[in-house]
Amino acid sequence: MRMHRRTLLALAVFTGLTAPSMALAADDTIKIGLLATFEGPFTVLGEDGERGAMTAVAEMNGTVAGKKVEIVKGSSDASPDSAVRAARKLVEQDGVKVLVGPLSGDEGIAVKDYAKTQPNVTFINGTSAAQDTTLRDPAENFFRFSTDGAQWMAGLGTYAFNDKGYKKVATVAEDYSFPYTQVFGFMAEFCKAGGHVPSKSWVPIGNKDFSSVIAAIPEDVDAIYVALGGADAVNFLTQYQQGGGSAPLIGGSITVDQTVLTSKGKLRDVLKGTPSAGPTADTNDAPAWKTFVEAYKKQPGAFPSPSLFAHGYYVDMKATLLGLDQVGGDVSDGGKKLRDALSKLSFDTPTGKVSLDKNRNAIADIFLTEVTEGADGNLMNKLVKVVPQVNQTLGIPEDEFMKLGAVNRDNPSCP
Amino acid sequence: MSLLEQPSSSSLSAGGMTRRQAWGLVGLVAAAVMVWLVFAVWPDWLNAILISKKAFVSAILNGITLAGLYFLVASGFTLIFGLMRNVNLAHGSLYLLGAYIGYEVTNHTGYWLLGVAAGFAVLAIIGVVMQVFVFRRLEGDDLRQTLVSIGISIVAADLMLAVWAGGTYQITTPEWLDGALTLPIITAVRSNGVSVFLTYPLYRVVVLAAAIVIGVGLWLMLNRTRVGMMIRAGVDDRAMLQASGVNVHAVFAVVFAVGAGLAGFAGVVGGSALSVAPGEDVRYLLASLVVVIVGGMGSITGAAIGALLIGLAEQIGLVYFPTYGIVLTFVIMVVTLAVRPQGIMGKAR
């Protein structure tokens, strides 16, 4: 009997606690879910993603179509199942109809698959940049206004071969879909130009000790292409410096991002002069970019310059808000009107014009950069060249591009 | 006894090695092969199979130094877990906290050694506090100890995230620990006849040396000193030790202080070799759990053997089959549990 009463009490308390979150949003607010990595190895990246998203919200003064924007945060740890768990929580418990996120490659593919089971919810990507999130088997309600990892590499392979004169390059990258996509993007151009990649090392995400991997890189390569993120990149670069590594580096987009460039320690020395490419360049002179940097810096804990995560989340959140504005904030029809508006949306971002292709993947400008030390001692990505309006098939006709096959550890290959 | 029988019986005694001798011989052959692999100039076919001599020897050296680091963490864990039957699943948090404290002290004073000392001292104090205020109250209650220490580790992880945020920190090592050693190991011979020698970071050699010194020191303390005797006696029969006039609680507090202090020390040393970031706590807790399970609970020698096995497995796996490398560690654990459940050096109780 006593047990029974206790159980009832516990149930009552539990209901009391969960009820408020079940309550429907009031008419004058719009709930937007924000999914990013607020835990695990990509915590810094996720936090900067949030700053970017909040910059977009602040730009609209926190309102859209006269309704107040309410951001509900969901946290993942960069693993696909944690991302789906967080997305489910946002959609099924918090009742969001619009969700922005996630951050990392495998997460994007998992959330895209989840999106198929929730046709009335509109998903807009964060910064996840695996190719197959939108290229193969896309979801009708998943939109990516940020570009993918292969697009980010536009121009880099040719630049490394022609301007830098690297003929043989070894690659070191994490073992999941986003780095596969980045290596694909780099090699697509580099191999076509006549370069060779004799050795590819795939390391588990969250690996700490890279010294054995570094030792296994052939000694006769001209440069090493590194596509590692966050703490992994910091560890690799530090150990490369400690081990007296001498081959120059080529950076994946997130390897020479502000999340890594602002790290403390001696790794700065090996990074200077590293060429890379990505959706942003720190020394971009365009007025729109400068305005964005100023707005971004108002966010608490901001980096000297927004990382590509801040940029990606900003662009996707901005697109979301513009779309919502066009439909008057009305998602009562299961978001159909919103999705129509998003599909046709084309707008000017701090990094140039963005529009979507038929798979709802962005076509945008890509920036070729090189790491330099700024006047204030911070490391910066100096703009070398802008590659205008890169599409997902990298300018190759679609049927030809699809024949290249899905990206994985062994594809592409040019030893 | 006929004359004919004699030769056969003597040949039996000569050929019939004991099991121990046979294993000794196998060990000797393995050691000889290893020495040859490390010092000889490799023929091409061997380079083709094992990527390159540089990769192979580096993986072995890295495995051994990583083992040194694992040993530092796991020795504290094995002391507390094995000797005191005290399940402290917050041991990884002690490692991470030690690393952060080491970072702060090194950063503010500019002296790396001071950071290492602070990592040890602060964590030793925290260890005593945990023992006195938490674990002493739960003595002999394994389940509650486990749950409470998990709770502590979760709270500690969030508190550290609040203070130091999610960034990756690198503890700066002093100049005199920088640079690389040239080892007398020839990795390749260039076409012009010049030998290429293997270089190896000096700092990692220092980590290994520190681990060996601490390991030997711990073993001597446990087996050759009065305190060590009391610790071992307290583990076997606490009531009897208490009856003979020893303050058992004080002894256990000392053990806890040393164990926690070692975790903090390892945090600073490891944070300088690799890096400090949230999530390291769980990683090192898992590593020390595996090391202690493989090596045998409560045995310092066992922790050393376990650390060596796991360190080597991790590094060799990373170079030769990165995708499935992580499995190797657990295969070792599963095999140990199946063949020798008490661990390699563990005593069956």
What is the per-residue pLDDT for A91?
A: 94
Cβ neighbours of residue B218 under 8 Å, at least 6 residues apart?
B75, B79, B300
Of A186-190, B19-23, B102-106, B189-193, where does mean pLDDT reach its minimum?
B189-193
Per-residue pLDDT at A215 exceeds 80: yes
Residues listed for chain B: 349
Report yes or no: B66 at the A interface, CB cutoff 8 Å: yes
Confidence of residue A19 (pLDDT cuts 50, 70, 90): very low
Contact at CB, B59 and A40, closer than 8 angstroms: no
**Crossing angle of helices B53-78/B91-109, nearest 10°?**
110
**Residue ranges covered by each domain of chain A:** 25-146+286-363, 151-284+366-403
| Total Cβ atoms within 10 A of residue A119 | 14
Mean pLDDT in residue range B75-89: 80
Could you tell me if A203 lies within 8 Å of chain B, comparing CB atoms?
A: yes
Average pLDDT of the residues in B295-309: 88
d(CA A44, CA A271): 19
B220 CA: distance to closest CA in chain A (Å): 31
DSSP element (H, E) containing B20: helix B19-39
- For CA atoms A81, A86, A89, A92, give the dihedral sign: negative
Residues 6+ apart with CB under 8 A from A25: A31, A70, A95
Chain A contact present for B267, CB below 8 A: no
Interval A139-164 mean pLDDT:
94
CB contact under 8 A, A212 and B161: no
More confident call, B98 vs B322: B98
Q: What is the arithmetic mean of pLDDT over A152-171?
A: 93
Place of tokens 């980045």: A182
Contact status, residue B83 vs residue B304, Cβ threshold 8 Å: no
Q: Please give the average per-residue pLDDT across B146-151, as a whole number.
A: 92
- Average pLDDT for residues A379-400, to the nearest whole number? 91
pLDDT of residue B11 exceeding 50: no
CA A265/CA A140 separation, integer angstroms: 45
Q: What per-residue confidence (pLDDT) applies to B13? A: 47
Chain A contact for B325, CB < 8 A?
Answer: yes
Chain A residues within 8 A of B63 when measuring between CB atoms? 212
- Report chain B residues whose CB lies below 8 A from the CB of A264: 169-170, 172
Distance CA A225, CA A239 (A): 16
Of A304, A229, A315, nearest in space to A41 by CA: A229
- Given this model, what pLDDT does residue B318 score? 86
Q: Which residue has the higher pLDDT, B312 or B200?
A: B312
Mean of all residue pLDDT scores within chain A: 88
Nearest to A324 by CA among A340, A335, A338: A338
Distances (CA, A) of A320 to A53, A197, A232, A342, B168: 10, 40, 32, 8, 32
Candidate ranges A134-143, A236-245, B44-53, B289-298; pick with highest mean pLDDT? A134-143
Q: Quick check: helix, strand or coil at residue A124?
A: strand
User: Do the two domains A25-146+286-363 and A151-284+366-403 of this chain adopt the same fold?
Assistant: yes
Between A358 and A267, the higher pLDDT residue: A358
A179, A284, B318, B343 from A174: Cα distances, Å: 6, 29, 12, 34
Would you say B277 and B169 are in contact if contact means Cβ atoms under 8 Å apart? yes
> Rounded CA gap, A264 and B279, in Å?
19
Is pLDDT larger for residue B44 or for residue A36?
A: A36
User: What's the fold here for domain A151-284+366-403?
Assistant: Rossmann fold (3.40.50)
Average pLDDT over residues A316-345: 92
Contact B165 A47 (CB under 8 A): yes
The pLDDT, as a whole number, for residue B48 is 74
Contact A234 B279 (CB under 8 A): no
Q: In chain B, what percentage of residues exceed pLDDT 70?
A: 94
Question: Which residues does chain A have within 8 Å of residue B318's beta carbon, measured at their own beta carbons?
Answer: 203-204, 207, 209, 212-213
Contacts B172 to A, Cβ<8 Å: 264-266
Confidence of residue A5 (pLDDT cuts 50, 70, 90): low
Ramachandran area for residue A282 (φ above 0: left; ψ -120 to 50: alpha; else beta): alpha
CA atoms within 13 A on the CB side of A306: 33
Chain A residues near residue B326 by CB distance under 8 angstroms: 204
Residue B35 half-sphere exposure, CB side, CA atoms within 13 Å? 6
E-strand ranges in chain B read 180-189, 195-201
Report pLDDT for A20. Answer: 45
Whole-number Å distance between alpha carbons of A151 and A129: 9
% of residues, chain A, pLDDT over 70: 93
Q: Does residue A241 belong to the interface with chain B, where contact is any CB pair within 8 Å?
A: no
> Cβ distance A305 to A282 under 8 Å?
yes
Closest CA to B105 of B92, B117, B91, B123: B117
Mean pLDDT of B47-65: 84
| Residue B52 to residue A218, Cβ atoms within 8 A | yes
Q: Is the pLDDT of residue A322 over 60?
A: yes
Measured between CB atoms, which of A47, A202, A209 is closest to B323? A202
- Do you find a cis peptide bond into A102, omega within 30 degrees of 0? yes
User: What's the whole-number mean pLDDT along residues B268-273?
Assistant: 90
> Which residues in chain A (273-312) have CB-CB distances under 8 A to chain B?
301
Kindly report, residue by residue over A83-135, the tens digit of the pLDDT: 999 999 999 999 999 999 999 999 999 999 999 999 999 999 999 999 999 99
The predicted structure's pLDDT at residue A21? 46
Range name among A41-45, A231-235, A307-311, A349-353 with the lowest pLDDT average: A41-45
- Binary contact (B204, A211; C-beta < 8 A): yes
Hey, what's the torsion of the CAs at B309, B312, B313, B318, to 10 degrees? 160
Query: Residue A30 pLDDT > 70, yes or no?
Result: yes
Q: How many Å lie between the alpha carbon of A176 and the closest alpha carbon of chain B? A: 10
| For range A166-195, the mean pLDDT | 93
Task: Report the DSSP pairing between strands A29-36 and A275-278.
Answer: unpaired
- Dihedral angle, C-alpha B318, B322, B326, B330, nearest 10 °: -90
Round the average pLDDT of chain B to a whole number and report it: 85
Bridging pattern class, strands A169-174 and A142-143:
unpaired
Residue A321 has pLDDT above 60, yes or no: yes
Q: What is the mean pLDDT of residues B312-336?
A: 87
pLDDT level of residue A12 (50, 70, 90 thresholds): low
Verify whether the Cβ–Cβ distance A204 to B323 is below 8 Å. yes
Is A415 an interface residue toward B (CB < 8 Å)? no
Distance CA A87, CA A340 (A): 22
| Out of A202, A209, A212, closest to residue B274 by CB | A209
| Residue A72, token pair as written in the block | 């509900």
3-state secondary structure A27-38: CCEEEEEEEECC
Task: Copy the structure tokens of residue A134.
Answer: 């939108």
Q: At residue B177, does pLDDT exceed 80?
A: yes
pLDDT at residue B310 above 70?
Answer: yes
Higher-scoring residue by pLDDT: A326, A239:
A326
For residue A14, pLDDT over 60 is answered with no
CATH of A25-146+286-363, one of 3.40.50.2300, 3.40.50.720, 3.30.70.360, 3.40.1110.10: 3.40.50.2300
Domain limits, chain B: 74-284
pLDDT at residue B253 is higher than 60: yes
- Measured in degrees and rounded to the nearest 5, phi and psi for residue A226 equal -115, 120
Q: Are residues A212 and B62, on separate chains, in Cβ contact within 8 Å?
A: yes
Contact assessment for residue A53 and residue A91, using Cβ atoms and an 8 Å cutoff? no
Chain B residue with CA closest to A217: the answer is B55
Q: What is the mean pLDDT of residues B75-104?
A: 87
Given a cut of 90, whether residue B81 has pLDDT beyond it is no
Condensed to tens digits (0 to 9), the pLDDT of residues A283-307 reads: 999 999 999 999 999 999 898 889 9
pLDDT tens sequence across A227-257: 998 788 888 988 888 777 778 999 999 899 8
Does any CB of chain B come closer than 8 Å to the CB of residue A378?
no
Give the pLDDT confidence score for residue A212 in this predicted structure: 84
CB B251 within 8 A of CB B231: yes
Stretch A338-351: mean pLDDT:
94
